[in-house]
């Protein structure tokens, strides 16, 4: 890949205990960063916990591993000392804690440039698989300071990025995002500096929650300005070749990535809101909320806990029972169900349309496992809508066909079999779904929180 140092442009935080020593090797690295047009924030030690949140906008981090060497050198005044193990451990602990705290607020490349043996530092990082996965390229690069100076900082960074497509996409996307964000706020600012108040009042006049809708408006406008994403991952394709050879490991990676595309786990969702697509798990079933998003927000004196979820009931479908249409790469479904896969640790969940259940959010909020995201959610909702409006057709008697009757395709068999197997259930479903979106189910059929 052609080097593109501009992907790293922005603020660079350099943490090194020798940052103020004009003879230290970090000076050469600092100079290379400054020469490339980046702004440097020099720190001689790990920032305290409270200030980590200020690092949200940083493009990348350069970090020394040994952050006590300069102080020891100064105190020893030319002598040498043996560093006690507790001190090394405390240094390692503080760096690991910083990397963890940082990851929560800013996922950006961290370059550990050190005078310590590189293998030792990597061994220490490997103990923390959430930070440094031995089997997967990490957002952390460890390299000897001397080697960085020799090769040139940005040559090192670009070469490293050749093996880290996730960082390449992050940096490329960030550039497009920052551009779109700036354009968006500038465009509205030019229209009127009071633009937030205009839309706020508008939402309030509609008795809608203004903060949530203002957020939606910004999100929509931002997305519209980002439609062209210039990103070329072709040079990275060979990275997959090695991984594909291990069939089971590759399958696991594919499932995890596909799950990330369509399912947001509960730990990323705040309990102070719910949305269509939220999936809940009770002892005997899974439930997906399909209530329209505008009805999932409390209005006026409404309380979130008292709002109703409109739920479809589902169950985990064993893989042995799943069929796969290899021509279109999809799972054939019956007309009265939607199967979502992979979600919640690689499961396939099958939601049935026959009945809609209502339950207060407060009764299920502690059982939420995550959220199905659009367009997978949109598809499920649209299939449910189509199911509600399906016309009843009389069956075609087999006698109408010349003998023998023509063979059915496997996909058609699935659909026809469903109707044949459940004629009564399908009828019941049609009559059990009220015209108004939902009705209270019998107590025994409600989700048991």
> Which residue ranges make up the site for another protein (CB under 8 A)?
68, 71-72, 75-87, 90, 93-94
Peptide bond into 391 cis (omega under 30): no
Peptide bond into 133 cis (omega under 30): no
Question: Least distance (Å) from another protein to the CB of residue 238?
Answer: 43
Closer residue to another protein, CB minimum distance, 86 or 442: 86
Closer residue to another protein, CB minimum distance, 94 or 183: 94
Closer residue to another protein, CB minimum distance, 82 or 228: 82
Question: Least distance (Å) from another protein to the CB of residue 345?
Answer: 35
Closer residue to another protein, CB minimum distance, 71 or 421: 71
Give me 303's structure tokens.
Answer: 């309380």
Closer residue to another protein, CB minimum distance, 88 or 275: 88
What is the spatial distance between Cα 249 and Cα 214, in angstroms, rounded to a whole number?
43
Question: Least distance (Å) from another protein to the CB of residue 100?
Answer: 14
Closer residue to another protein, CB minimum distance, 21 or 28: 21
Question: Least distance (Å) from another protein to the CB of residue 44?
Answer: 12
Question: Least distance (Å) from another protein to the CB of residue 206?
Answer: 52
Closer residue to another protein, CB minimum distance, 90 or 243: 90
Question: Least distance (Å) from another protein to the CB of residue 94?
Answer: 6
What is the spatial distance between Cα 128 and Cα 135, in angstroms, rounded to a whole number?
13
User: Is 369 within 8 Å of 344 (Cβ atoms)?
Assistant: yes
Closer residue to another protein, CB minimum distance, 67 or 131: 67
Q: How many CB atoms lie within 10 A of CB 166?
A: 14
Give me 310's structure tokens.
Answer: 């409109």
Q: Cβ contacts of residue 428 below 8 Å, gap of 6+?
A: 354
Closer residue to another protein, CB minimum distance, 28 or 101: 101
What is the spatial distance between Cα 102 and Cα 46, in angstroms, rounded to a whole number?
11
β-sheet with 308-316: strand ranges across:
263-265, 368-372, 278-281, 286-289, 308-316, 347-360, 337-343
Question: Least distance (Å) from another protein to the CB of residue 30?
Answer: 24
Closer residue to another protein, CB minimum distance, 46 or 338: 46
Question: Least distance (Å) from another protein to the CB of residue 384?
Answer: 53
Q: How many CB atoms lie within 10 A of CB 422?
A: 15
Q: Is the dihedral of CA 418, 420, 426, 428 positive or negative?
A: negative
Q: How many CB atoms lie within 10 A of CB 54?
A: 13
Question: Least distance (Å) from another protein to the CB of residue 49?
Answer: 11
Q: Cβ contacts of residue 164 below 8 Å, gap of 6+?
A: 109, 137, 138, 139
Place of tokens 């739920």: 311
Question: Least distance (Å) from another protein to the CB of residue 124?
Answer: 16
Q: Is the dihedral of CA 121, 127, 133, 134 positive or negative?
A: positive
Residue-wise DSSP of 16-41? -TTTT-TTSTHHHHHHHHHHTT-EEE
Q: How many CB atoms lie within 10 A of CB 30?
A: 20
């Amino acid at each position: 890949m052609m080097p593109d140092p501009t992907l790293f442009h922005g603020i660079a935080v350099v943490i090194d205990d020798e940052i103020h020593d004009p003879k230290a090797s970090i000076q050469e690295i600092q100079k290379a960063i400054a020469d490339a047009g980046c702004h440097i924030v020099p720190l001689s030690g790990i920032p305290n916990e409270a200030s980590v949140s200020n690092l949200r906008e940083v493009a990348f981090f350069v970090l020394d591993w040994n952050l006590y060497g300069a102080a020891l050198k100064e105190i020893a005044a030319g002598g040498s000392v043996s560093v006690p193990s507790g001190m090394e451990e405390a240094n390692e602990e503080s760096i690991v804690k910083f990397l963890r705290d940082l990851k929560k607020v800013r996922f950006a490349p961290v370059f550990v440039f050190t005078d310590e043996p590189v293998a030792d530092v990597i061994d220490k990082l490997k103990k923390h698989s959430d930070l440094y996965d031995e089997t997967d390229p990490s957002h952390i690069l460890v390299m000897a300071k001397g080697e960085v100076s020799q090769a040139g900082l940005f040559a090192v960074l670009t070469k490293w990025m050749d093996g880290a497509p996730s960082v390449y996409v992050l940096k490329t996307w960030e550039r497009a995002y920052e551009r779109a964000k700036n354009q968006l706020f500038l465009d509205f600012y030019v229209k009127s500096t009071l633009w937030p108040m205009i839309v706020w009042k508008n939402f309030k006049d509609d008795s809608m929650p203004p903060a949530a809708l203002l957020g939606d408006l910004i999100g929509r406008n931002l997305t519209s300005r980002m439609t062209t994403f210039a990103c070329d991952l072709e040079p990275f394709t060979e990275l997959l070749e090695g991984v594909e050879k291990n069939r089971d490991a590759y399958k696991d990676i594919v499932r995890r990535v596909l799950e990330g595309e369509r399912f947001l786990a509960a730990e990323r969702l705040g309990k102070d809101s719910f949305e269509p697509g939220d999936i809940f798990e009770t002892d005997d079933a899974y439930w997906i909320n399909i209530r329209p998003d505008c009805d999932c927000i409390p209005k006026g004196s409404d309380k979130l806990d008292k709002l109703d979820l409109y739920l479809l009931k589902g169950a985990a479908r064993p893989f042995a029972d799943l069929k796969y249409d290899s021509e279109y790469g999809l799972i054939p479904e019956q007309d009265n169900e939607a199967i979502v896969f992979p979600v919640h640790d690689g499961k396939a969940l099958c939601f049935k349309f026959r009945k809609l259940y209502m339950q207060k959010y407060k009764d299920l909020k502690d059982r939420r496992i995550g959220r199905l995201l659009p367009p997978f959610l949109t598809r499920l909702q649209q299939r449910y809508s189509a199911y509600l409006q399906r016309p009843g057709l009389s069956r075609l008697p087999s006698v109408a066909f010349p003998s023998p009757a023509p063979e059915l395709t496997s996909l058609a068999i699935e659909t026809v079999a469903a109707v044949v197997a459940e004629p009564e259930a399908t009828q019941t479903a049609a009559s059990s779904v009220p015209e108004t979106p939902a009705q209270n189910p019998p107590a025994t059929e409600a989700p048991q929180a």
